[in-house]
Structure 1
Amino acid sequence: MSKLTGQLVSLRAIEPEDLDVLYNIENNQTYWEVSNTQAPYSRYILKQYIENSHLDIYEAKQLRFVVEDKKKNLVGMIDLFDYNPQHLRAGVGVLIDKKHQEKGYATEAIQLLNNYAFSILNLKQLYANISTDNKKSILLFEKLGYQKTGIKKDWIFSNKTFKDVAFYQLIHA
């Protein structure tokens, strides 16, 4: 499998050529709130990450894909994280660059990832942690069948205040 392909986007493995984009994403402080990042990443560390991205999800406990549009433009990234083989679950994270949002890319990327997780990895459930003030992400995940099953009170400390995080699950029948 070289990529997962839909009508609008494809999901592919990270390549060495993606280093600059990964560097910009990982060091963009506006994303740190949701990624639990607290310090910048060096190009060296990210280069090592890319070099080790050949490790499968069973070893790395995570799997990141690049989201490409039909013209092969990198429009974002999506990943499975906190993979737990015992309980057959993983978290889902998606980031679509602002200039590519509201084109259906995130919807299709998550659908492709859901299908991969359930049919190839045989997972039982996927979950997402979404800040309760992130209305776009809440609508996106709810549209895709994820159900809010709880609230993590005062979960994220950001801009000198605490935020609640909603816990969403998609359980495969």
Structure 2
Amino acid sequence: MLRDDLIFLRALEAEDLEFLYVLENDSALWQVSDSATPVSRYTLRKYLENSTADFEEVRQLRLVICALPDGRAVGTVDLFDYVPRHQRAGVGIAVLPHERKNGFARAALKILISYARQTLGLHQLFCTIGANNSASQKLFQQAGFQFVGVRKDWVRMADEWQNVVEYQCLLDI
């Protein structure tokens, strides 16, 4: 099972609609995604109906981070842009604002890395982080991700361009 003493990871359920609605409509998260518009419950309901599709087919996987002991949903961890030939995928983590700084993201990332290596047989994971997001950079560095570069003026935030930093984690070593 995908768990430790602090959290467990599980597949999306139909009952996650309201949780996802809150998470996906947190405008602070739009800054790190390619979206800048609210997401409707209808759109999320359709997404949940298709969320059980095979990882190999849809090339992405979203798992819910649930806190122990009560099992409440506190965030999500994603594998995306999966390329089977090269055995790599991107990683994204989102935690509800009031649940941050409790170690949930760190625990989820550790479990996900093990799952990606042992179960999915991936060779590497990568992530893109805002250059000003030192907390996320520290999280991924502590999990074994190595800095590999900067993309200049990669994301537009309000009326200014910002850099992002790239990290990768080789799982075979």
Distance 1:107 1:26 in 2: 20
Q: Aligned letter for 1:99?
A: H
CA deviation map 1:85-141 (0-9, x unaligned): 011000000011122212211111001000111111100000010001001001111
User: Secondary structure of the residue that 1:59 maps to in structure 2?
Assistant: helix
Counterpart position of 2:71: 72
Contact 2:23 2:96 in 1 (8 A): no
Q: Which moved more, 1:95-104 or 1:73-82?
A: 95-104
Query: What is the letter of the counterpart of residue 4 of structure 2?
Result: G
Q: In structure 2, what is the equivalent of residue 41 of structure 1?
A: 39
Q: Secondary structure at the match of 1:17?
A: helix
- Could you tell me whether the CA contact under 8 Å between 2:130 and 2:162 is conserved in 1? yes
Cα RMSD (Å): 0.9
Q: How does 1:11-50 map to 2 (within 5 A)?
A: 11-50=9-48
1:91 alignment partner in structure 2: 90
3-state SS of paired residue (2:92): strand
Q: One-letter code of the match for 2:155?
A: I
> Counterpart of 1:83 in 2: which secondary structure?
strand
* Structure-1 residue corresponding to 2:55: 57
1:156 CA displacement: 0.4
- Measured after TM superposition, the shift of residue 38 of structure 1 is 2.6
TM superposition shift of 1:49: 0.6
Contact 2:76 2:93 in 1 (8 A): yes
Aligned counterparts of 2:8 and 2:64: Cα–Cα separation in 1: 8
1:149 alignment partner in structure 2: 148
Q: Which structure 2 segments of 5+ residues have no match?
A: none
Runs of 4+ in 1 over 4 A off after TM superposition: none
Q: Distance in 2 between matches of 1:41 and 1:100?
A: 21
TM-score by length of 1: 0.96
Q: What is the correspondence of 1:100-111 to structure 2 with a 5 Å cutoff? A: 100-111=99-110
Q: Which residue of 2 aligns with 1:120?
A: 119
Q: By how many angstroms is 1:39 displaced?
A: 2.1
The CA deviation string for residues 11-69 of structure 1, in whole angstroms up to 9 with x for no partner, is 00111111011112112221111111132222111111111111011111110000001
Aligned-partner SS, 1:5: coil
Q: Under a length normalisation based on structure 2, what TM-score does the superposition of the two structures give?
A: 0.96
Q: CA separation in 1, counterparts of 2:19 and 2:74?
A: 10
